[in-house]
Amino acid sequence: MWPSRNKNMDRMEFLLTLRRRGITDNAVLRAMDEVPREKFVSEETREQAYQDHALPIACGQTISQPYVVGYMTELLELASHHRVLEIGTGSGYQAAVLSRIAAHVVSIERYRTLAEKARRTFDQIGYTNIDVLIGDGLEGAPNLPPFDRIIVTAAAETIPDALVNQLADDGIMVLPLGPKNGPQHIVRLRRTKDGIEREDLIPVRFVPLVEGRAKEL
Ligand code: SAH
């Protein structure tokens, strides 16, 4: 373990970096200040937990860069009564941030190993408003809709219709769109009375959204 003085400085610097890069929503900044990111990264990368980059986790996946977590969370315009669906639990960090602002989060992961680890982390830190499901997130959670907000944290090549169909009226969905290893960008969809509005936003780099449940892990 590193000395606690450095740890506090890391966390102060973490928030300053988020602000400097343009995250202004206080609820998002407060949530990211509250969630202990070091509990979501692997033992080997713990000292880098508060640096602004993505880190490897089990099953060849990654925990997203904090700035991108803040940016996507801000785009969701979350309110405290919202029910949120996340596709791609991974470490559970993004779900944890969502859960500090919204009423309830359902998060779907295709790897059992990651889903179970995330559940243990939530238990350990006492976050009780997150349900982790093991399955194919491309199908969403067909028994649980509609969701006020949907966030996808793996890159889709095309917008998954099943997810758009699970979005409530006035709902917002945020996802990275683009090919595996190719140019991807963040897209925000909003369900209005006149149909679905679309905004194409910043370039990003995410692991791919893969169809089906993972076979072994
Ligand atoms: N939100 C995560 C980042 C995870 S990386 C975090 O905060 O740590 C993307 C995750 O999406 C990976 O864990 C990957 O296994 C998962 N994934 C990819 N395709 C999926 C699918 N079809 N259904 C569910 N999860 C999927």
Distance 24 CA to ligand 1 centre (A): 26
Residue 23 carries which DSSP code? Answer: -
CA distance 138 to 95: 17
CA distance 107 to 96: 10
217 belongs to a structural domain: no
Residue type, 54: A
Distance 3 CA to ligand 1 centre (A): 33
CA distance 89 to 207: 12
CA distance 143 to 148: 15
The CATH number assigned to the domain holding 104 equals 3.40.50.150
Residues catalogued as catalytic: 64
Task: Name the residue among 211, 168, 204 with its Cα closest to residue 187.
Answer: 204
What residue numbers bound the domain in which 175 lies?
A: 4-204
Per-residue pLDDT at 2: 53
Distance 155 CA to ligand 1 centre (A): 9
* Atom 26 of ligand 1, nearest CA residue: 88
Distance 153 CA to ligand 1 centre (A): 6
Per-residue pLDDT at 145: 86
Per-residue pLDDT at 80: 98
Residue of 57, 61, 133, 139 to test ligand 1 pocket, by largest number of atoms within 8 Å of CB: 61
Residue 195 pairs with which residues in a beta bridge? 192
Tens digit of pLDDT at every position of the chain (217 positions): 555 557 788 889 999 999 999 999 999 999 999 999 999 999 999 999 999 999 999 999 999 999 999 999 999 999 999 999 999 999 999 999 999 999 999 999 999 999 999 999 999 999 999 999 999 999 999 999 899 999 999 999 999 999 999 999 999 999 999 999 899 999 999 999 999 999 999 999 999 999 988 876 6
83 belongs to a structural domain: yes
Per-residue pLDDT at 46: 94
CA distance 28 to 18: 10
215 belongs to a structural domain: no
Residues within a 6 A CB radius of ligand 1: 61-64, 87-88, 90-91, 93-94, 108-111, 114, 136-138, 153-154, 207, 209-211
Residue of 41, 45, 89 to test ligand 1 pocket, by largest number of atoms within 8 Å of CB: 89
Per-residue pLDDT at 9: 82
Question: Given the DSSP bridges, would you call strands 147-152 and 130-134 parallel, antiparallel or unpaired?
Answer: unpaired
Question: Given the DSSP bridges, would you call strands 167-177 and 55-56 parallel, antiparallel or unpaired?
Answer: unpaired
Residue type, 188: R
Query: Domain total for the chain?
Result: 1
